[in-house]
Amino acid sequence: MEKTSKRFEEFGGRVASAWEGLRPTTRTIIERALQPAPASHAGGANYDARSEMELSRLLEALDERAREAGALRLNAEQSRELVRVADACALVLYTGGRSAEVFGQLLERALLARDYARVDRVADTLSTRLAPSEICEMARNQNPAVRAIAHEALAQKPPSVLVELLGDPVDAEEAREALEIQADDYESEEARWIVNTLERVEDDASDGD
């Protein structure tokens, strides 16, 4: 543990502060992920929503430090280690993540690196990992590329799932857009019938006014 803490201190104040803010159980998750062949135990039994939030902050600090590495004089070995630790943290989040915030962060990270194979891997995980409401939240992300990926993931959901979201005042707009994608791009008759029904109801309400 002491050796790991020293490693994070060498990366600078913000990274060290993010590391110090981790609970012992979350630190253990990272230490395991940094061992050889981390994919077999990325995440771990102690991974939970709080760990996800802590690791997200740590990854943000690591990535910011990596972008500053040249200007703030990390040596070549430290720079390589910084990237290795950040990638291990991202792997844990990819393996265990369940929130729109984390998957938005992972997508933005992959897009910034222009690693489009990783973008595809993260995007392919959305439909099976995130609840529909979380994907709707991603569809409101500030990054237009993340929004587009989330809308495409929503459009993979059955129309019946999207209809349930229409009753939610927060997620209704994203659900309707997904149904329109299904109707127009995928030529789904069920989605087209739902969209047409919605339009008729809106027209009738407008006429009533």
Domains of the chain, residue spans: 1-97
Residue 209 has pLDDT above 60, yes or no: no
Exposed (0-12), middle (13-18) or buried (19+): which is 81, by Cβ within 10 Å? middle
Give the three-class secondary structure for 71: coil
pLDDT tens string 50-107: 999 999 999 999 999 888 755 457 788 888 889 999 999 999 999 999 999 999 999 9
pLDDT tens string 182-196: 999 999 999 999 999
**Over residues 110-116, mean pLDDT:** 95
pLDDT bin (cut points 50, 70, 90) of residue 9 is confident
pLDDT at 11: 87
Task: Check residue 190 and give left, alpha or beta (phi > 0: left; psi -120 to 50: alpha).
Answer: alpha
pLDDT tens string 16-31: 999 999 999 999 999 8
Q: Which residue has the tokens 């459009």?
A: 155
Count of other CB atoms within 10 angstroms of residue 79: 16
Count of other CB atoms within 10 angstroms of residue 60: 17
Residue 181 has pLDDT above 90, yes or no: yes
186 secondary structure, DSSP code: S
Separation between Cα atoms, residue 85 and residue 72, nearest integer Å: 18
pLDDT at 93: 96
Written as six digits, the tokens of 123 are 């995007």
pTM for the full predicted model: 0.88
Backbone angles phi, psi at 167, to 5 degrees: -85, -5
pLDDT bin (cut points 50, 70, 90) of residue 5 is confident
Separation between Cα atoms, residue 40 and residue 12, nearest integer Å: 29
Q: How far apart are the first and last CA of the chain?
A: 68
Q: Pick the more confident residue, 144 or 31.
A: 144
pLDDT bin (cut points 50, 70, 90) of residue 180 is very high
pLDDT bin (cut points 50, 70, 90) of residue 205 is confident
Residue 129 has pLDDT above 80, yes or no: yes
Separation between Cα atoms, residue 209 and residue 190, nearest integer Å: 29
Separation between Cα atoms, residue 35 and residue 91, nearest integer Å: 13
